[in-house]
A and B are shown apart, each in its own frame.
Chain A
Amino acid sequence: MTVTETRPTAAGGSPPPNPAQRLTALPAKIAKSPLLARVLFPVFLFLVWELSLIAVEEIWPFAVDVLPTPSEVGAFMWDEFITDTLARKNLYETFFISLRRLMSGFAIAMVLGTAMGLAMGLSRATNAFCHDWTMAILAMPALAWALFNSIIFGFDDRGPILTVILAGIPFVIVNVREGVRNTPRELFDMARSFQVPQSKVIRHVLVPSLMPFMFAAARYCFSIGWKGLVIAEVFGGQDGAGWTIKFWYDAHRAHGVVGYAAFFVIFAILFERLVFEPISRRAFRWRPQLQTEVVEEAFGEHHEHYGEEETARR
Chain B
Amino acid sequence: MAEIRIKNLHKEFGVGSDKVVALEDVNLDITGHSFVSIVGPSGCGKSTLLNILTGIETPTNGTVEITSDGHVAAPGYVFQAARLLPWRTVTDNLMFVQEDRSDDTKKRCQRYLEMVQLGDKGDKFPGELSGGMQQRVGIARAFSIEPDVLFMDEPFSHLDAITARALRRELHHMWDETKKMVVFVTHDVGEAVELSNRILVFAKGGRLEDDIQIDLPFPRDPADDEVAVAKAHVLRKFEELDLLAS
Contacts and interface: CB of A to CB of B under 8 A. Distances in A.
A305 B203 CA distance: 48
A286 B87 contact: yes
Contacts of B74: 195
Contact of B55 (A187, A193, A204, A288): A193
Contacts of A195: 74
B127 A193 contact: no
Given A196-B97, A285-B125, A289-B127, A190 B79 contact: yes
Contacts of B128: 288
Instruction: Find the residue from A186, A211, A286 having the highest chain B CB count within 10 A.
Output: A286
A287 interface: yes
Nearest to A195: B74
Contacts of A200: 96
Instruction: Find the residue from A196, A204, A209, A211 having the highest chain B CB count within 10 A.
Output: A204
Contact of A286 (B75, B79, B125, B145): B125
Nearest to A186: B83
A186 B145 CA distance: 20
Contact of B77 (A187, A194, A286): A194
Interface in A166-186: 186
Contacts, number: 53
Contacts of B87: 208-209, 211, 286
A194 B88 contact: no
A192 interface: yes
A194 B85 contact: no
B76 A194 contact: yes
Nearest to B79: A190
A288 B87 CA distance: 11
A308 interface: no
B1 interface: no
Given A192-B55, A193-B77, A194-B76, A204 B127 contact: no
Contacts of B205: none
5 contacts: A190-B83, A194-B75, A205-B85, A286-B125, A288-B127
Nearest 8 A/B pairs, CB to CB: A193-B54, A194-B97, A208-B87, A286-B125, A190-B83, A286-B87, A189-B56, A193-B77
